[in-house]
Each structure stands twice: as structure tokens, then as C-alpha cells.
Structure 1
């Protein structure tokens, strides 16, 4: 059966919010590979079509990165620098605009987990 134009438009409208990456500030809650918990903020700024600059502030630590959105996930993938260490994070974009992700950094590796929640209600974001 061929979908009608109205059905196609409805499906596109329903799927849109999950794919919409929003610039702004996000609350960060995470857990390091060693089990330690942390909180902070992250800021997402668009740099082009599906590309983003991400800045995390957790305590006295500030990390900066660049990322891109894979719409088929949707998945936000970010490479970042914290001090003299490099890291990578991958976030699944949730329907409510939050980002659920995992990350690693430095030579020791290990996997941490993190959730970015849009400050003030809608959007989507990334990591420490």
C-alpha cells in the first residue's frame, strides 16, 4: 500500500523533534570509569550543517570539542580536548532533546556515562 501525502507529512512531523539538535546550555550528570559521579554544564553551538562546537564545564575542568550529528541514529559524535588529554563521546539523541552517551579519554581509557539535559526544557547536547 502506498502512503498518502498526508500520512507522509504526519510521519515527518512526528519524527522531526527527535532529529532536531538545539543550540544552548545543558545540565550534565555523569559517572567516570572509576565510578565517581559529577555534575556540570555543557554548551552546544552550531557550526554548520549537522556540525557542533561543544564546551563542558565540570568543576574547575573545561573541555572543548567538535562533533557531528548522524541523523540516522540520531547520534551525536564528539571529539574533545581536556587539558593535555584527548577524548571521544557518542550520544544518542532522545525524543525529549536530552543526550545519553558514553565517553572515554586519555591513555588509560575506560568508559564513562553521561546525560545532557537541555536547560529550560527543549533541545539536545554532549560531555565533560
Structure 2
């Protein structure tokens, strides 16, 4: 009886992690720019063929990106077409002022944490996506 309870508890704990692997969806964004200033906004991630479309709204500023995914397989990352099993996403983006790159990894709580920079910068900034 105790064994069955432990197995059931483990299954309940693991199911949310498995279900959340897909990076598509709508998120609240909280970040820190390279100059240390804080910002908030939203981001939407959609799968489009073998890639992702990533659309940020920070205040009145929009940035749009194209992403590729990856998932941990054995002892390494497996990169390839966008998949609902992806636990990492790499994005190139453009905004009205610049272009840049970003990389995000799924966290155990279902959020996505990442870093980003823009063209010509020598610094890295951070960002967290929390599902809405």
C-alpha cells in the first residue's frame, strides 16, 4: 500500500513537468536589461513549421524573433525542428532599434529563464517567462 502511494505521488509530481515542456504559449515577462534596469511585459511563442515565432511586447515596444528548439536527450542536447518536447529555445530577434540573440531553458516550475543581448553589446541581460 505504501509503495503504491509513493508511485502515485511521484507520478503526480512528474506529470506537470512533462506536460509543460512545450515552449508555445503566452507568458508574462520580467527582466533586467544590461544596464541593470528592470522591465515587464508579455511574450507569445507560436510554432510555425519547424521554427518558433516569438513576439515580445515591452511597454509599447515590440520585438519579433524566430527560434529553434532543443531538448535534453541522454547526456547531450538534441537540436532540430521545433517540437512540443523542447526544453530549450534559441531566438534571433529584431526590434525597431536593433537586433539580437536570446536563449531560454525550461525550469522545474514551468517558467523559462534565459539570457539575451543585442547587436554590438558587450553585456548580457536576463529574462524570465512565466505562463499566463
Equivalent pairs, count: 107
Look up the match of 1:41: 42
SS in 2 for 1:71: strand
Normalising by structure 1, what TM-score?
A: 0.74
Q: 1:59 to 1:114 in 2, by over 3 A?
A: same
Look up the match of 2:130: 117
| Residues in 1 aligned to 2:109 and 2:42: alpha-carbon distance in whole angstroms | 18
Q: Which structure would you say has the larger RCO, counting Cα contacts within 8 Å and 6 or more residues apart?
A: 1
Q: Which runs of 5+ in 1 are unaligned?
A: 1-9, 120-128
Look up the match of 1:62: 62
Instruction: Report the CA distance between 1:57 and its aligned residue.
Output: 0.2
Instruction: Report the CA distance between 1:95 and its aligned residue.
Output: 2.8
Normalising by structure 2, what TM-score?
A: 0.71
Counterpart selection for 2:103 from 86, 90, 113: 90
Look up the match of 2:29: 28
Q: Which runs of 5+ in 2 are unaligned?
A: 1-9, 78-86
What's the RMSD between the two structures over aligned residues?
2.3
Give the 4+ runs in structure 1 shifted more than 3 A. none
Compare 59-68 and 88-97 and name the one that shifted more.
88-97
SS in 2 for 1:88: strand
Instruction: Report the CA distance between 1:109 and its aligned residue.
Output: 3.7
| Residues in 2 aligned to 1:18 and 1:77: alpha-carbon distance in whole angstroms | 20
CA contact (8 A) 1:43 1:55 kept: yes
| Residues in 2 aligned to 1:65 and 1:55: alpha-carbon distance in whole angstroms | 6
